[in-house]
Every structure is written in structure tokens, then in C-alpha cells.
């Protein structure tokens, strides 16, 4: 199921890393990013913010009063995910005080850290489960990088949202 998800997300033009353990995931994330990094507090790998700071990177977190003003300058947004679906391949992010909606929207690159236990087989199954539970103010499903086919029906990436989406799978 995880292989199918990874293949599906790649077909949607995402980069997929893992599955790997939390330590390897933290290293992979920290090595990949640069510039101002915005992090939500729902990343399912402990110590990402500290590791980024230790590498000398500038980190923006939702408890920072300058979050809203500075997010537009962030190079990367790192988030967790509520769940993911294999068919059709997509990840779902829930808005929360520590997980602003714009983290996966405004920066040109989005890194999404996903626990493999949160992967569900089909969209219909996921919707049945979601509809039964507590709903966030916004649940955002993401298939891959922002795209448009408005120019002569040929796909162009990064029109409003991120140009690149990287999914890190954590076992």
C-alpha cells in the first residue's frame, strides 16, 4: 500500500522519500531545505526545529508573533498530515492553531511529513472516516504541486501554490 502511494504521488509530480525511521527522516528533511523555513507543530518527527536551528537555518514557527508577516518570505513550509489516501493518491492536512493553512500554500516548496500508519486505501473510505469524526475548520487535500492547464491545455506548475511538494514517509 505504501509503495502504491509513493508511486501515485510521484506520478502527481511529488518527490517521495522513505519510509524511514524518525532519526533518518529528521536528517533527510534538514539536509534538503535552506533559507527561511516555516514549521507547523504537527510534524510527526521530534526535534526538526532544533535540528534546523543547529544547522544555522532561520526557522519560523506559529508561536512567533511575526508569523503572518514573515511567511511570505519563507522558502519552505514543513507540515505534518492528518492522513493520506492511496487511491486516488493525495495527502490531507488539517488546520489547527499550531498548523496554519498557509504553511503548505504560500512558500514555493512544501515538505509534508506523513506517518505510514495514517495511510488509508481509498478516498471513499477516508471520507467515511472523516465525516464521522471531529472536523477541522479546513481540511486541505493535496495531490501534488500547484498546476494549471489553462494555457492551451498543457500542464504548467507553480501557478499560485508550491512549485515542489516533497512527501517524507515515516515508519
Partner 1 sequence: MTGHGITTPGRDFHERTATAVADPVLQKALQNLDRRLRTAGESAAAHPEWKERAAAIRRETLLDLDGWLDRLERSLAARGVEVHRASTPGDARRVILDLARARGARTVVKSKSMATEEIDLGGALEQAGLTSVETDLGEYIVQLAGERPSHMITPAIHKTLPQIRDVLAREAHTDLPVDREALTAWARERLRGEFLRADIGITGVNFAAADTGTLVLVTNEGNGRFCTTLPRMHVVVMPVEKVIPRLADVGVLLPLLTTHATGQALSNYVTMISGPRRAGELDGPDEMHVVFLDNRRRTLLGTTYEEMLACIRCGACLNVCPVYRNVSGHAYDAVYSGPMGKVLTPLLSGGAEGADLPYGSTLCHACSDACPVKIPLSDMILALRADTPERSSPVRRRRRLFWTVWARAWSTPRGYRLTTTLGRMSRGRVPGLRAWTSTRELPRPARVSFRDRWAKEHR
Give me the least distance between CB of 64 and partner 1, in Å please: 10
Q: Which helix (H) or strand (E) holds 67?
A: helix 67-70
Alpha-carbon distance of 19 to 28, in angstroms, equals 11
| Residue (of 14, 79, 15) closest to 45 by Cα position | 79
| Residue (of 118, 115, 140) closest to 129 by Cα position | 118
Give me the least distance between CB of 85 and partner 1, in Å please: 8
Question: Which residues bind to partner 1, rule: CB under 8 A?
Answer: 12, 62, 67-68, 72, 87-90, 95-97, 100-102, 105, 122-128, 130-132, 135-154, 156-162
52 or 86, CB closer to partner 1?
86
Alpha-carbon distance of 128 to 1, in angstroms, equals 19
15 or 51, CB closer to partner 1?
15
54 or 127, CB closer to partner 1?
127
Give me the least distance between CB of 109 and partner 1, in Å please: 13
15 or 87, CB closer to partner 1?
87
Alpha-carbon distance of 67 to 106, in angstroms, equals 12
Amino acid at each position: 500500500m505504501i509503495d502504491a502511494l509513493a508511486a501515485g504521488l510521484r506520478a502527481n509530480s511529488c518527490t517521495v522519500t522513505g519510509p524511514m525511521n524518525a532519526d533518518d527522516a529528521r536528517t533527510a528533511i534538514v539536509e534538503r531545505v535552506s533559507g527561511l523555513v516555516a514549521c507547523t507543530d504537527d510534524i510527526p518527527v521530534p526535534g526538526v526545529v532544533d535540528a534546523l536551528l543547529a544547522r544555522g537555518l532561520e526557522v519560523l514557527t506559529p508561536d512567533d508573533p511575526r508569523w503572518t508577516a514573515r511567511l511570505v518570505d519563507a522558502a519552505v513550509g514543513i507540515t505534518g498530515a492528518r492522513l493520506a489516501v492511496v487511491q486516488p493518491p493525495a495527502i490531507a492536512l488539517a488546520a489547527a492553531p499550531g498548523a496554519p493553512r498557509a504553511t503548505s500554500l504560500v512558500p514555493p516548496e512544501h515538505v509534508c511529513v506523513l506517518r505510514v500508519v495514517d495511510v488509508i486505501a481509498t478516498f471513499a473510505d477516508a471520507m467515511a472516516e472523516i465525516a464521522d469524526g471531529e472536523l477541522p475548520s479546513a481540511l486541505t487535500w493535496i495531490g501534488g504541486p500547484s498546476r494549471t492547464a489553462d494555457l492551451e491545455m498543457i500542464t504548467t506548475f507553480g501557478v499560485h501554490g508550491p512549485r515542489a511538494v516533497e512527501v517524507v514517509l515515516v515508519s
